[in-house]
Amino acid sequence: MDWEEPKGWPGVIHREGRTLVRVSERPDSQKTGPVSRRGDGVFLNPAMSGSRTRSVLLLDHAIESGILGEGPIYALDGLAAGGIRARRWLNEISEDNAKRLDVTISDLDRGAIDWAMGNHRDFPPLHGKGQLSSAVGDLRKLVLSHGRHWVDIDPFGSPLPFLDTAVQSLARSGVIEVSATDTAALTGSSRGAMLRRYGARVRTDGLAHDSALRVMLANLASTAAKHDRCMEPLLSIWDSHHLRVSARVRKSRSRANIFEDDIGWRVHSPTHEEVLASVEAGLHPSCSLDSLPMTCLLPVSHPVERKDPRISGPLWIGSIGDQSAMCSMTEEKATRLCAPEFADEDLAGWSEKDFEMERRRVVRSVRNIEHEGAVIGSAHHILVDDLSSWLGIGSPPSPTLMVNKLNEMGCNASLTHYGKPSFRTGASWDDIVEVALSLQPPM
C-alpha cells in the first residue's frame, strides 16, 4: 500500500515503553480512562500503555516457551489505530524473537494506518528485525485472508463482533488477545447489555471485575469450542477502564467437547449445601463449614436460580491465567525489555524525570503478576474490605500481612494485580478466618 501523508503529520514525537511514536497531539500519560478519538488526529490512549507492555512481555514469553512453533510467526494487530502495539512488539521483544515476527496491522481508518507506517519508517525497530505490513478494511473480512499465530482485538466497546472470525483465523496453536471497554455491561451495572451480549449476569460487588473477566473467558471458550478448539487462559487483567484476556487456543475436538467443564457460577453468600457442592466439585478447599465463605464457584450442572441476585454467570470457573506466563512477567524483565534509557538530546525532548516516570509506569504494569501467577488457579480471591465486613472486624486487615501469615502457615497466597486491595490463596476458609481474626480482632 502506498503511503500518503496523513492529516496533521508529522505531529509531535512521543514515547511509550522504549518505542518512539509521532502523534498529532502529545497524550497526557497520567490519564487513566477512555479517550475519545478527536477529529483528524491519530488515536493513542495512554491508559492502555500497561496493556501494551504486558502484550510485549506475553508475546516474548509465548515465543520462548515454544507455543507458537519454531518457524515464522504471523501476527495480526487487527484494530491497530496508529499501530503502537504492533510497533512495540517488534521493537521491544528480544532480537532473536523479533526476527521471527511477520506482523500485519489493520484498521478501517486509512489515516491511522498511514500514521502507523510513517512511524515505522521514521522509527524502525532498533535491532532492524521483523516485518511489518498493513491493510485497510473491515477486520471481519481481513482476518480470514491468512492464518495467524497471534491475533489482537482491541476495539472501542465490545470485542464480540470480531471474536468468531478471529478464532477461526488462528493456527492449530495460537494466541488471541482480546480487550473490551464496554465496562457497564461487563460489570453488570448495565444488566440488559450484559445478558444480551454475553448471555450472563454479574453481581455488582467488589469481585465484579474478576467475574467480568470470567464471563469474557466463557464467551471465548464457547466461541473456540464451536470451531473445534479449546482455550487456555494465559493472562486476564482488569485495568482502569478496560479488561483484557489473553489465551492460548488449540485445535482439539475432544477438549472442545468438554469445554463446559470449566463453565459455571459464582455464588455470593453461599448456603451450606452450595459450599459442600463446590468442595465436592474440586472448586473449593475443604473447610469445617463452622463459618461460611463469602463466595464459592459451582459447576454449570449445579441447579441455580439464574435471577438470584447472589449468582454471577455463566462464567469461567477454571484458572484465569497460566502460571508460567504470569511468573515470567517479572519487574526485571519488564524493565529490561520495555523501559527506556535516559539519553541527552532526546528526540522526544524528554527530561530525566520523564524517563523515570515511564520506567515506573512500565514496572507498575506488571506489579504483583509474577507472584500472583503462582496462585492464579486458587479458589479464593479475597478483597480485604469485604473480608472485614463479612467477619465484623474493625478495619480491613493488611493484604500483605494476610499473605505473609498464610505463607508462614504453609499456605500459598499472593497479592493480586487487581483494582482493589486483595489476595489470592489456596488456603482453607478456616485458615483465612483464623489469620484475619489474629490480625484484626472482632469489634
Ligand X SMILES: C[S@@+](CC[C@H](N)C(=O)[O-])C[C@H]1O[C@@H](n2cnc3c(N)ncnc32)[C@H](O)[C@@H]1O
Identified binder of ligand X from the candidate list 13, 20, 21, 44, rule CB under 6 A: 44
Order of strands, sheet of 170-180, starting from the edge strand that comes earlier in the sequence:
131-136, 101-107, 73-77, 148-153, 170-180, 242-251, 229-239
Which range binds ligand X by CB under 6 A, 19-27, 132-140, 253-261, 275-283? Answer: 132-140
Identified binder of ligand X from the candidate list 15, 23, 43, 293, rule CB under 6 A: 43
Binding characters for ligand X, 146-185, by CB under 6 A (x = yes): --------xxx-----------------------------
372-384 burial: b if 16+ Cβ within 10 Å, else e: bbbbbbbbbbbbb
DSSP assignment of 89-133 equals HHHHS-HHHHTTEEEEEEES-HHHHHHHHHHHHHS--TT--SEEE
Q: Does 139 bind ligand X (CB under 6 A)?
A: yes
Q: Does 403 bind ligand X (CB under 6 A)?
A: no
Q: Please compute Rg for the chain using Cα positions.
A: 22
Sign of the torsion formed by the C-alpha atoms of 186, 192, 196 and 201:
positive
Is the CB of 235 or the CB of 375 nearer to ligand X?
235
Is the CB of 151 or the CB of 297 nearer to ligand X?
151
Nearest alpha-carbon partner for 23 in 37, 39, 8, 4: 8
Is the CB of 139 or the CB of 433 nearer to ligand X?
139
Dist. CA 190–CA 198, nearest whole Å: 12
Kindly identify the residues of this chain, within the stretch 50-69, that bind ligand X according to CB under 6 A. Answer: 52
Q: Does 48 bind ligand X (CB under 6 A)?
A: yes
We find the least distance from the C-beta atom of residue 162 to ligand X, in angstroms, to be 7
Which range binds ligand X by CB under 6 A, 43-51, 91-99, 249-257, 415-423? Answer: 43-51
Q: Does 109 bind ligand X (CB under 6 A)?
A: yes
Q: Does 79 bind ligand X (CB under 6 A)?
A: yes
Is the CB of 9 or the CB of 342 nearer to ligand X?
9
Binding characters for ligand X, 11-30, by CB under 6 A (x = yes): --------------------
Specify whether the CB–CB gap between 66 and 173 falls below 8 A. no
Which range binds ligand X by CB under 6 A, 42-50, 206-214, 343-351, 363-371? Answer: 42-50
Q: Does 247 bind ligand X (CB under 6 A)?
A: no
Is the CB of 112 or the CB of 245 nearer to ligand X?
112
Q: Does 311 bind ligand X (CB under 6 A)?
A: no
Which range binds ligand X by CB under 6 A, 76-84, 247-255, 275-283, 407-415? Answer: 76-84
We find the least distance from the C-beta atom of residue 99 to ligand X, in angstroms, to be 23
Sort strands 19-23 and 12-16 into parallel, antiparallel or unpaired.
antiparallel
Specify whether the CB–CB gap between 405 and 351 falls below 8 A. no
C-alpha of 56 from chain center: 12
Nearest alpha-carbon partner for 213 in 255, 190, 183, 189: 183
CB within 8 Å of 68: residues ≥ 6 apart: 62, 149, 150, 173, 174, 175
Instruction: Kindly state the cell numbers that stand for 39.
Output: 477529529
Is the CB of 107 or the CB of 274 nearer to ligand X?
107
Identified binder of ligand X from the candidate list 68, 84, 180, 208, rule CB under 6 A: 84
We find the least distance from the C-beta atom of residue 157 to ligand X, in angstroms, to be 9
Dist. CA 203–CA 186, nearest whole Å: 10
Q: Does 85 bind ligand X (CB under 6 A)?
A: yes
What kind and span of H or E run contains 234?
Answer: strand 229-239
Dist. CA 117–CA 128, nearest whole Å: 15
We find the least distance from the C-beta atom of residue 106 to ligand X, in angstroms, to be 6
Specify whether the CB–CB gap between 149 and 171 falls below 8 A. yes
We find the least distance from the C-beta atom of residue 81 to ligand X, in angstroms, to be 4
Which range binds ligand X by CB under 6 A, 13-21, 101-109, 286-294, 415-423? Answer: 101-109
Which range binds ligand X by CB under 6 A, 23-31, 108-116, 326-334, 349-357? Answer: 108-116
Is the CB of 82 or the CB of 314 nearer to ligand X?
82
Is the CB of 240 or the CB of 323 nearer to ligand X?
240
Specify whether the CB–CB gap between 287 and 240 falls below 8 A. no
Q: Which residues bind ligand X (CB under 6 A)?
A: 43-44, 48, 52, 79-82, 84-85, 107-109, 112, 138-140, 154-156
